[in-house]
Every structure is written in C-alpha cells, then in structure tokens.
Structure 1
Amino acid sequence: MKFFLIAGEPSGDQLGAALMAGLRQLLPDVRFCGIGGPLMMAEGMESLFPMDELSLMGIWEIIPKYRHLKRRIAETAQAVQDQVPDALITIDSPDFCLRVARLVRAAQPDLRTIHYVAPSVWAWRPGRASRMAEVIDHVLALLPFEPPFMQAAGMTCDFVGHPIATQPIAGRDEAAQFRTDHGIATDAPVVLCLPGSRRSEVGRLAVRFDEALMRLRDRVPEIRVVLPTVPGVSQMVREMSRRWPVPPVVVEDPAHKRAAFAAADLALAASGTVSLELAANRVPMVIGYDMAFLSRLLIGMLLKTDTVTLVNLVSETRAVPEFLGRNCQPGPLATALQATLEDMSARKAQLDAMDLTMQRLGRGGEAPGLRAARSVIAAVTRG
C-alpha cells in the first residue's frame, strides 16, 4: 500500500511518525509520500516541501503568506493525484489539510480520505464535522468520546488512543535528583507554572499567573516555583518572574522537564493538552485561560460545554478547578491553588480523575500509532 500523509505542525509530525511506524509494522512493503517534519522524514518520507511553511498560527501570521499557502494547497493536491496513493491521510492542521482534501475529492472522488485528530465539535462549532464529512471518509480520534460526533456527521471514526498515555514519565529518583540539583528541600512544595507555549498565551496570562503565585507565596512562603518552557517563549517566561524574591527554576530541556513534573506537588497551567501531561504525572492542578476580548465573546456564545479542561471531560468529573475569561484573575487563582495544595480530599478527587483519564486514553494498552495503523488499514480495505 501507498499513503500520502500531510502534517503541518510538530505535534502532527509526532502523530504521523508513530502512525508510519505502525503501518510499517503491519505492512512491511508500505510506501509513504507527502509533507512532514523531521520525525516523519526519519520514518522514510521525502517531504514535498518543508513542513515549517505550514506552522502558522493566527490570522495576522497567515495574511502575509496567503498567496503562498494557496499555491502550496494547489501544489499538494496535484501531488496527491500524481502519486496515486491508496489513501490521503491528513493530520490536524485543518485550515491547510482540509482545503487540500477538498481539491483532491473534486478530482478523485473515489480516493479514501482519512483525518487524524477530530475537531473539538463537542466544545464549539459543531458544524465543522458536517463540513469535514464533505471531504473526509474516516477519522482517527484522540479522545474516547469523539467518535459519536464524527459518526453523526456521516464519517466513520475510531478512537485510537492519545499519545500522552504512552509518553515516558520520570521516577522518584529523577524527581529527588531534580530537587537536589536546584537546591529544593525535600519538604518544600514544588509548584509548576505553565502559562502556555505560544507568545499570545504567555503575553495574556503571565501577569495574572505571576500575581497569583506571589499571593500564594505570601500564604505558603516555603513553595518553590518551577517554570517549564519552550524556546519560542522562554525569554517571556523569564521576564515574568524577575521581581520574585526567590527566583524560580526555569526548565527547557525535555528530560529536565519530565523530572520537574515528577517532583511537582501542584501546577498552575493554561488550558490545553498540558492538563493531560500533568494528569499523566499525577500533578494536581488549577487551570486558567483567557483570550482577546472579541474572541472571548465569540467563544462564550458558541461554547457547548461547562468545562474545557480535558481531564474533566475525559473523566466525566469536574475535579480540576478552572478559571476562564474574566474569571481568570490572580485572587481566585491563588485561593484555588492554596486549596488544591492543602485540601487532601480535593487532591484525591483530582488524582482519581487523572488515573481514570489515563486509563480511558489507553494507558497500558496497544500503542496509539499501532492502533491508528490498524484503523487506517481497515478503513482502506473496506473501501
């Protein structure tokens, strides 16, 4: 079999590489073509053009590149037709991928189309599923409650597990070494601060998270704050903590980040996939998030659920406190952090919800990449 895969972001590159490895395990003679990053290229793909060209976020980043992206969409759709694959597999990045799929569907209506990562129609804009169904036959879902939404729109869908459930986790020895390396006492509460991985998120949340942690420090002076971050926002993260009397530990290296998660007692985090990463490491958390005023109004009108925290959604609880929009303020955040640190019943409720979440996401089962590969093969062979 031959597959044309498209990934537009590093997270998609990770999913695509795991899927390719799974397909090669089941189909030793499988062939790949398409667009991917270094991980997919390491699995044998020769990328049509650099994946970085598609890693754009926000309208102001896209507008200057619009003509170029439009050419890339047409070029990619033509490449699919030229390669004659058994299926087109698009991975997240719907603004690019689904436009390619639409052109391909018009030219090759019988080609099987598969999309990896279901849109969050359970949260807002349910019409996206119906529009996706016009060009996509089958969906690979990361969350266990997503298939019914896709099936209702007319697509087949399999839950294939979330990669977070199989990521390596540091042990007690690494956690103890992290404390030793950074001069943190064994009985000092370690609080992670995670204000996001995008500049817009950090810019909006940093001041509020900073003030919330200062207030928590006034109430619990012995806490030590650790700021895990990524290169694109590390300088902004360092700036947010300059006035602290006890400097936080800033961590960029992935191995050190795993050790920091293992050593942590509590986290203040932006909403997103990081809540699942914290759950995998059993770190009780408080979630805060806000966005631009007009976006906040729009999302507020369209939101279909009373929580956006994935741990709450997957576990079907409301164990993780969250403060969104105008409610994301230092005072309530600090109060919730103190309660989450000191209230043993609240901590147990979170830990139970986290364990259930990881179980439902596939911890201990077959690797998501292999499950996704089985789903792809089944979707193609049933025609």
Structure 2
Amino acid sequence: MKVFLVAGELSGDRLGGALMQGLRQLVPDVEFAGVGGPLMAAQGLESLFPMDELSVMGIAEVLPKYRHLVKRMHQTAEAALDWQPDVMVTIDSPDFCLRVAREVKAKSDLRCVHYVAPSVWAWRPKRAEKMAKHVDHVLALLPFEPPYMEAVGLRCDFVGHPVVTEPVASEAEVADFRQRHGIGDAPLLLALPGSRRGEVGRLTPTFGEVVARLLRQKPDLKVVVPAAAPVADLVKELVADWKVAPIVLDPNEMDADTAQAEKRAAFKAADVALAASGTVSLELAASDTPMVIGYDMNWISWQIMSRMALIDTVTLANLVAESRTVPEFLGPAFQAEEIAPALLRVLEDATEQREAMSLTMERLGRGQEFPGVRAARSVLDGLKK
C-alpha cells in the first residue's frame, strides 16, 4: 500500500506522524512519500522539500512568498500523480493542501483525504462546499465538526486528537527540571510565542513587557521558553533584553528524546502559561497547566479575519469544553497592561479552568484508542468503500 502525505507546519507534522504510525501498525508494508517534518521523517518519510517553507500564516505574510508557494504546490501535486499512491492524505494547512488536492483531482481519480476539518464553524463557512469538490473524506480532530462536513456530502469521521495520548511529565521529572534549572519553589511562567518566524517576531516583545510587569508583583518569578527548532535562534535573540533571563529550551542543542522530555517537564512544571493562539492550548490542557492566550498579526490580516469570525473565542480548550475559562487577548487587545493582570488572576485561582481542561481532554478521546490508529482505520475503511 502506498500513501502520499502533505503537511505544512509543526502541528500537521505531529498529526501526520501519528497517522503514519497507525497505518504501519495496521498495514506493516505501507510505503510513504510526500511533504512533512521531523516526526513524519521518523516514521519513514523523505520530504520533497523542507516543510517549514510552508509555515506562513496571515494574508499579508503570504503575499511576498506567493510565487514560491505556488511552485511548491505544483511540485507536490505532480509528485503525487507520478508516484500513483492508493490514497493521498493532506494534513491541515488548508490554503496549501486543498490547492494540491484540487490539482490532483483535476488530473486523476486518486482518493483524497484531508486530515483536520477546516474551521468552517469559525470563519469562511463556504470552504466546506468548495472542499467537497476535490476531497472525498475528512478526518476531524474535534467532536463537533462532522455535521458541518456531512452537510455538504462529505464523509467525516471524528478520530480524536493525538494530544490526549502524548506523555505528561511525572512529579519526579518536574522536581528534577526545577532543580536542574535553579527554579526551586519560585513561581514559573511558561512563555510560548509561537513556532513561525513572523508570529515570534510580533509576539515576543510584548511577552517581554508582560514579564516585566509580572516581576513587580512576583520578583522571584522564573520564566522558561520552549522554543520550536526552526525559530530557536530568533527566540534567543528576542528574549536577550527581558528583565529576567529566561530559560530557553533549544531543541537544536539536544537529541530528540531529550528535547521532548524537557518540553514535557517545562509544561508540567509551569504554574501558568502565556501562549500564542493555536493547538498549544490543547497541549497545555493535557498537562493541566493554566493559561492565558495572546496573539497579534499584521494589521491588514487582523482587519480581514476579525470581520469574518463567527465565534467569540479562538482558544480550542474553550471551544471543546464549551466554556470561556481561558482568557485571551487578540489583535488590539494584545497589550501587556491587560495580559499581566489576567495571568496574576489565573495564578491565584485556576479551579474553573482546570475543570474545563479536564473536560476538554475527555471529549478529545483521552482513555480511548490511540487517535493515530483511529485515523488510520478511517482512511483504510474509506478505501474499502
């Protein structure tokens, strides 16, 4: 069996790696090709080109790289057609992946599966109808998504979210992390300014202002920044003038297992997190780490996207639990003087947020079959039918 996969960013690479592992468990002689990152590479994928070339977000941010992205889109579609797989699975990154699917469908009858239902419940609802023209099957991460896809005639299966099965650091690992980094019993802030260069550049300076304000109330505050590998050097550069020197976890300076263990320990050891918007809110919920979400983008992108939004929160932990316990500060509200007091309030009492995070994990499939295997079963079942 041959499976062609396309992922465009770190979250998609995580999903792709889990799916590949599940497929290999069910079909041991499966072969893979396509585009992915390190976790997919660990499962045997040789990427056509570096995945981080596709990790661009925001309308204004995409425009300067548009021609190159179109070139990569055509290259990916042609590679899929030439390889003649049994199925193509595109993963998240809909603006890139669904264009690849459209080109492939225009030239073949290859079955196309898209992993991660586009957030039509949040904005651009017409995407579901457009998607149905060149996608056969959708794998959903969130339990409330299938009806939106089924309404336009697409098969859509909720397969759970891999975050619910990722290991969480033990109390012993937390104690060791705090001891090795000289944190002791001090309050610990986890700062997560994103994994793309653009968002790291925009968010990190304000994160630094938040830290400065927190230090006035918590002078013994410690800060840890688990950096994503592609932006680790930029993170180090941008945090150099913070009022307290943060502990930057650079995965480029560690082997893969150590880097993951350090990140897990940091997530669990933190008393509170300030994070960019995205799937990281689910990682924090899995570690039972209270959080505040902060995000900003190019002014043009914000004006367009804020007018198209259909929801009042972008935080997945809020959406899945149907609560609003995670404070968020987006666009014009992304101001240090507003974020710092919210972090202090969460530090003081996160009872309701922790209850909501527990419910989130339950609804995403914690305790059930490994989501990668569920996704693999869904893909294989679709091929049979």
TM-score, normalised relative to structure 2: 0.89
Does residue 1:367 correspond to 2:367, yes or no? no
Deviations 1:207-226 (A, max 9, x none): 22222221121122232222
Q: Is the counterpart of residue 257 in structure 1 residue 263 in structure 2?
A: yes
* Cross-structure match for 2:384: 381
**Change in CA separation of 1:90 and 1:304 when aligned onto 2, cut-off 3 Å:** same
For residue 233 of structure 1, the aligned residue among 231, 255, 270 is: 231
Distance in 2 between residues matched to 1:239 and 1:41, nearest whole Å: 29
Give the Cα separation in 1 of the matches to 2:84 and 2:240: 56
**Kindly tell me: are residues 217 and 63 of structure 1, through their superposed partners in 2, closer, same or farther at Cα, counting changes over 3 Å?**
closer
Distance 2:322 2:181 in 1: 37
Give the corresponding residue for 2:254: none
- Which amino acid in the other structure matches residue 207 of structure 1? P
Q: Does structure 2 retain, via aligned residues, the 8 Å contact 1:163–1:368?
A: yes
Task: Say whether the 8 Å CA contact 1:229–1:250 is kept in structure 2.
Answer: yes
2:201 and 2:75 map into 1 onto residues whose CA distance is 36
CA distance in 2, matches of 1:3, 1:297: 39
Alignment partner for residue 327 of structure 2, among 321, 335, 338?
321
The equivalences for 1:1-383 within 5 A come to: 1-45=1-45, 47=47, 49-52=48-51, 54-58=53-57, 69-109=69-109, 111-186=110-185, 188-253=186-251, 254=259, 255-343=261-349, 347-382=350-385
Judge conservation of contact 2:35–2:51 (CA < 8 Å) in 1. no
- The whole-number CA distance in structure 2 between the counterparts of 1:143 and 1:64 is 33
CA distance in 2, matches of 1:239, 1:355: 36
- Give the distance between the partners of 1:244 and 1:5, measured in 2 at CA: 41
Gaps of 5+ in 1: none
1:70 Cα shift?
4.2
Q: How big is each residue's C-alpha offset from its partner over 1:45-89, in whole Å with a ceiling of 9 and x where there is no partner? A: 455x23437534156776676555545544443444444433222
Q: 1:295 to 1:367 in 2, by over 3 A?
A: same
Using the TM superposition, name which of 363-372 and 194-203 deviates more.
194-203
CA distance in 1, matches of 2:238, 2:105: 48
Deviations 1:3-34 (A, max 9, x none): 33233334333322322222232223434344
* Alignment-mate amino acid for residue 371 of structure 2: P
**Any conservation in 2 of the 1:7–1:51 contact (CA below 8 Å)?**
no
Letter paired with 1:369: G
TM-fit CA distance, 1:244: 4.6
What is the root-mean-square deviation of aligned Cα atoms in Å?
2.4
Question: For the structure 1 residues 350 and 16, does the alpha-carbon distance in structure 2 shift closer, same or farther, using more than 3 Å as the test?
Answer: same
Which one-letter code corresponds to 2:324 in the other structure? R
State how far apart, in whole Å, the 2-side matches of 1:222 and 1:42 are.
40
Q: How many residues align?
A: 376
Relative to 1, partners in 2 of residues 1:114 and 1:209: Cα closer, same or farther, differing over 3 Å?
same
- Any gaps of 5 or more consecutive residues in structure 2? 252-258
The answer on whether the counterparts of 1:56 and 1:62 sit within 8 Å (CA) in structure 2 is: no
Seen in structure 2, the aligned counterparts of structure 1 residues 270 and 43 have a Cα distance that, compared at 3 Å, is closer
Decide whether aligned partners of structure 1 residues 171 and 152 sit closer, same or farther in structure 2, where only a CA change above 3 A counts.
same
Distance 1:63 1:290, change over 3 A: closer
Tell me which amino acid in the other structure corresponds to 2:102: R
- The higher radius of gyration belongs to 1
**Structure 1: 4+ residue segments shifted above 6 A:** none
